[in-house]
Structure 1
Amino acid sequence: MPQLNLNPWFAILVFTWIIFLTVIPTKVLGHLSFNEPIPMSEEKHKTESWNWPW
């Protein structure tokens, strides 16, 4: 039964996880976000109380 022979499949598994854990995260984290958040001004907005007609 070739499924029980670990020689080729274990090496394929290890190399696949090495690629997943090293190459792919560096490519994903290398992208820049074009819409970076802009900090809001710290001035307080003036709010008025509501004038209820009853």
Structure 2
Amino acid sequence: MPQLNPAPWFAILIFSWLVFTTVIPPKILAHTFPNEPTAQSTEKPKTEPWNWPWH
């Protein structure tokens, strides 16, 4: 039963993880966001109490 021999499958596992960790992250990090977030103002908006007409 060759599938019980871990030697080739372990090498394939290590090689595939090396490919995933060296090739894919730079490709993902190269993407840019079309809308850069803008800084919001630090002052709080002025809130007023509601005028309840039935109270």
Who is 2:28 aligned against? 28
Percent of aligned pairs sharing the same letter:
63
Who is 2:50 aligned against? 50
Uncovered stretches (5+) of structure 1, i.e. residues with no partner: none
Task: Give the superposition deviation at 1:17.
Answer: 0.8
TM-score, L = length of structure 2: 0.69
Q: CA RMSD in A?
A: 1.7
Task: Give the superposition deviation at 1:47.
Answer: 3.0
TM-score, L = length of structure 1: 0.70
Who is 1:17 aligned against? 17
Uncovered stretches (5+) of structure 2, i.e. residues with no partner: none
The amino acid that maps onto 1:18 is L
Q: Give the length in aligned residue pairs.
A: 54
Q: Distance in 2 between matches of 1:48 and 1:7?
A: 72
The amino acid that maps onto 2:35 is N
Q: Secondary structure of the equivalent of 1:14?
A: helix
Q: Distance in 1 between matches of 2:15 and 2:2?
A: 20
